[in-house]
Amino acid sequence: MSKNILQNELFEAFANASDNIYIYVCDMKSSLSRWSKNTVDYFNLEAEYMTDTANKWMAKIHPDDRSLYVKDISAVFSGQSNRHSCQYRAKNKYGDYVWLECKGSVIPDENGQPSVFAGLMTRLDNQNKYDPLTHLLTNYELQNYDFSSGNGILMLLGIDSFRKINNTNGYIYGNKVLSIFAECLGELADKQDKIYRLQGDEFIVLSPNGTNDKMRELFQKVNDRCANMRGVKSFSVSAGIVSYPQDGSDCNTLLSNLEHSLEFAKEQNRNRIIEFSEKISQRHNRISNLHEALTKSIHNNFKGFELYFQPILDAKTKQIVECESLLRFKTPEIQDASPFEFIKLLENSGEIREVGAWVMEEALRHAARWQKEYGGIKVSFNVSYVQLLDGDFVDKLIEKTNEYQVNPNLIMVELTESCNAEDTDMLSHHFDRLRTLGYKIAMDDFGTEYASFGLLHDVNMDVLKIDQKFVRGLVQNRNMTDMAIIESVVDMCRRLSIQTIAEGVETVEIQDMIEKIGVSYLQGYLYSKPVPAAEFETMVRQKAFE
Ligand code: C2E
Ligand code: CA
Ligand code: CA
C-alpha cells in the first residue's frame, strides 16, 4: 500500500504547486521516502527516493535547531503524536540556511497503526538571509542593518517597465532578467558595497562611506551594461538615492524616501537617477492627497469630475464637426490637477475602469443632446488600455448608446496606450465589432513611443491623430523632418482610407502648413482650448470659425 502512496499521481500534482513549498511522503515501516523534485534540487538531496531519511535530512538542519526538530519528529515516529509542526533552518544548495515551516501528519493503516507520514515544508522567505532567485541579501537583512552609526549612501534601483517585460515574455524570462541583473550588480559594485533584492524588480546597493558621485558612476555603468546584456533583450533601470544619516537614520524612513525618489525618477522617463530632497517628499504628499481626493470623489457620485470638450474642425470648411471629451478634476482642495497626472494615478490603481465608464456615459449623454439640437456632432472620448481588458467595455458602450439613443456613427473611441502582441488580437476583435456597428476608432498620439506602425498593422482604424509633437515642431524649429513625417503619414492614410486629425494646431502658420499637406481635421488652441459643455455649444451655435 505504501508503495502506491509514494507513487501516487497526486504527489506529482502537489509537488509542482509552488516553488517555495517542498513536499515529501515517508513509508514509516521501511523508512523509504519520496521528495518532490524541487526539494531534491534546492536542498541538494541524493535522490527523489531515499532510505535512512531521518539521518540524511538531519544533516541538513542547522545544529542549533536539531534538538527541537528531533523532539517533534520522534513523537511522531514513536506513535505519541500524529502531527509534526515546527520551524527550523535547513541548508540549501548554496550552503545557506533558510527558514522552513514544516508540517506533517501520519496516515494509519487498516489496523490503525502508523503507516505513512506525509508533510510539506514552506520556505519562510520573509525571514531568510538570501533571496532564493538571485542569491542576494533580502529585505529582512536590510531591516537588521544598523544605520544609526556611520554614514553612507543607499541606491534603490528598479527595472524600467518590468511588468511589461514580464507580461510580454513570460515569467521565466522575467526571472532570467532579474538573475542576470543581480549578477551584473555584483560585478560592478564595489567589494565593500552590500547588495539586496527587495520585492519584485527592486534592488538596493548600500555603500558604507560611499559618495553620491560614486553611486552615479555605478548607475551609469549598470545602465550601459543593461543595454547590452547577453541572453536577454536590452533594458534600462531607474534609481533613487538617499544619504544616511541626513535623509533618515532608520531603515523604514530611508526606504520610503528611496521609494519616493524612484517613483519620481520613473515618471521622468527611463534611465534616470534622482537624489532624495525635501521637494521629492512634498511632491509625494501632493500626489497622495490627489489620489485620496480622486478615490473620495469616485465614491461620492463622481463629484469633482467634469468633461470638457475641445472642438475639431473640418480642415476645408472650418466647421465644427466633432469634439474630443477631456476629463477634468477639481475640488475645493485641489484646483490645478493635470489630467496627465491624475489619469496615470487612476490607471495604476485600476480606478480608471470606474471613471472611464462615467466618462463614456457623460460623452453619450452630450452626444444625444447635440444630435437632437445640432443635427449631430461627433463626440470622441479617450479609453485607457486597462478599460479594454475588462471585456465588457464593448457591451457597455453598445448598451449605453441604445439607452441614450445615439447614432453610433457619432461616437469615436480614442486609444492611446500601447499593448503587446497577444493583446492586439483581443483589441482587433473588440474594435471590429464596434466598427461593424458604425462606431469610429481612432489611434491617438500617432508617432509617439506608444502608438505606431505596429498597432496600425494589427488593428483596423478609421482615424489617426497625429501627435502634437510633430505638428507644433513644424514652425517651432522649422523642422523639415517633422514636415516629411507628417506628409508621409498623411499619404499613407490616404491609401488606407484612414482619416487624419492634426492635434496641437496653435497658430495660423501651422494651420496653413497642415492644410497644404492635406490633413482632414484640425484641433488646437488656435480655435479653442477644451471648454465646459455650455461654452462649446455657444461656439457651435455661433459657427465660430466658418
Ligand atoms: P490627449 O488625448 O492627447 O488629449 C489632447 C491634449 O492636448 C489635451 O490635454 C488638450 O487640452 C491638449 N491640447 C489640445 N490642443 C492643444 C494645443 O493646441 N496645444 C497644446 N499645447 N495642447 C493642446 P489634456 O486635456 O490636458 O489631457 C491630457 C491627456 O489626458 C489626454 O491626452 C489623454 O491622454 C488623457 N485624458 C484626458 N481625458 C481622458 C479620459 O477621459 N480618459 C482617459 N483615459 N484619458 C484622458
Ligand atoms: Ca485623445
Ligand atoms: Ca493626443
Q: Is the CA virtual torsion 514, 515, 519, 522 positive or negative?
A: positive
Residue 314, burial from CB neighbour count under 10 angstroms (0-12, 13-18, 19+): middle
Cα–Cα distance, 98 to 129 (Å, whole number): 7
How high is the pLDDT of residue 1?
44
pTM of this structure: 0.76
Q: Chain-wide mean pLDDT for the chain?
A: 91
Walk along the chain (546 residues) and give the pLDDT tens digit of each residue.
Answer: 445 666 777 787 777 677 789 999 999 888 889 999 889 988 999 999 998 888 889 999 999 999 999 999 999 888 889 899 999 999 988 788 889 999 999 988 888 888 899 999 999 877 888 988 899 999 999 999 999 889 999 999 999 999 888 888 888 899 899 999 999 999 999 999 999 999 889 999 999 999 999 999 999 999 999 999 989 999 999 999 999 999 999 999 999 999 999 999 998 888 999 999 999 999 999 999 999 999 999 999 999 999 999 999 999 999 999 999 999 999 999 999 999 999 999 998 889 999 999 999 999 999 999 999 998 899 999 999 888 887 899 999 999 999 999 999 999 999 976 665 567 888 899 999 999 999 999 999 887 766 678 788 888 999 999 999 888 878 766 668 888 888 999 999 999 999 999 999 999 999 999 999 999 999 999 999 999 999 999 999 999 898
Q: Using H for helix, E for strand and C for coil, what is the string for 69-104?
A: HHHHHHHHHCCCCCEEEEEEEEECCCCCEEEEEEEE
Helices (H) and strands (E) in the chain, counts: 21, 21
Q: Which ligand is nearest to the CA of 380?
A: 2
The atom number, within ligand 1, closest to the CA of 339 reads 30
Measure 81 CA to ligand 2 centroid, in angstroms.
68
Q: For residue 413, which of 448, 459, 462 has the smallest C-alpha distance? A: 462
Cα–Cα distance, 294 to 125 (Å, whole number): 36
Q: What letter would DSSP give residue 451?
A: B
The atom number, within ligand 1, closest to the CA of 414 reads 2
Pocket test for ligand 1, best of 364, 503, 529 (most atoms within 8 A of CB): 503
The CA-atom distances, in angstroms, between 381 and each of 306, 328, 410, 523 are 13, 13, 11, 14
Neighbours of 435 (CB within 10 A): 17
Q: Is 30 in contact with 61 (CB distance < 8 Å)? A: no
pLDDT digits (tens, 9 = 90+) for 391-434: 899 999 999 999 999 999 999 999 976 665 567 888 899 999 99
How high is the pLDDT of residue 418?
63
For ligand 1, atom 10, the nearest C-alpha belongs to 530
Output the ligand 1 site: residues, CB below 6 A: 310, 326-327, 339-340, 343, 356, 359, 381-384, 416, 444-445, 468, 503-506, 523-525, 530
